[in-house]
Structure 1
């Protein structure tokens, strides 16, 4: 007794795309390089205007910061003891005079943190985001 043999299907050929793409990219890169070497770049001669003071940088209008010192004895403005009212007037004058100036609170490490935060809050009410707290790193 013989069994029927099934006809064998022909194996489908496989095409590896990766090596073919590598070759195609190499050929494309070759033609791009050759084309760039064969073309000449043409330019237009232009006379650019020069700045008379190009060598000197523009002056910066950033003033020195106004330093307020907070110690256990009280508030000092540029090493001179002041009251809160005097500090308010001095800060307002400084911030109106110098539009880009900042006010820096420098607190003594022995001053309680609560007092530093309160003074910083008072100063922020006057100067807004132009008031900073100085720290030692």
Structure 2
């Protein structure tokens, strides 16, 4: 009596992908966490004015001489209706601060001006004027 061979042919090996996907997700999560903790945000430290009534009356009583630098919506630098480049602005700020010992420089940016340009310009001005540079707003 002959026995029949139950095996019909070579079977295909199967690869289980679930453990490999688990490892890949763990590695991906590790690198995502690593990149979020190693990023260095670039910015300029500024002191925002307080809104208390006492400080407002003090500043109104003793007006300070200040150079007003305006930034229009197109990102152009304007001083006294004259458009300047960044290099010209730095020269004017240096000259102004040397002439006026207690003078300050204010950057008044249009709300539509590019934020990156405001931060860049404020950083350049702060490099020249140190603690005598501030960010201002236009009053109505």
Gapped regions of structure 1 (runs ≥ 5) = 1-60
Determine if the alignment matches structure 1 residue 121 to structure 2 residue 123: yes
Matched residue, 2:70:
69
Q: Which residue of 2 aligns with 1:79?
A: 81
| 1:92 and 2:94 matched | yes
The TM-score normalised by the length of structure 1 is 0.51
TM-score w.r.t. the length of structure 2 is 0.50
Cα distance change, pair 89–73 in 1 and its aligned pair in 2 (3 A): same
Q: Name which structure has the greater RCO, CA cutoff 8 Å, separation 6+.
A: 2
For 1:68 and 1:136, the matched residues in 2 are separated by 11
**Tell me, what secondary structure is at the counterpart of 1:100?**
coil
Cα distance in 1 for partners of 2:97, 2:132 equals 9
Which has the larger helix fraction? 2
- Pairwise CA RMSD of aligned residues? 2.0
Paired residues of 1:69 and 1:105 also in contact (CA < 8 A): yes
Structure 1 residue ranges, 4+ long, deviating more than 2 angstroms after superposition: 61-64
Matched residue, 1:5: none
Considering only CA atoms, is the larger Rg found in Structure 1 or Structure 2?
1
Q: In the alignment, which residue of structure 2 is the partner of 1:130?
A: 132
Number of positions where the alignment pairs a residue of Structure 1 with one of Structure 2: 77
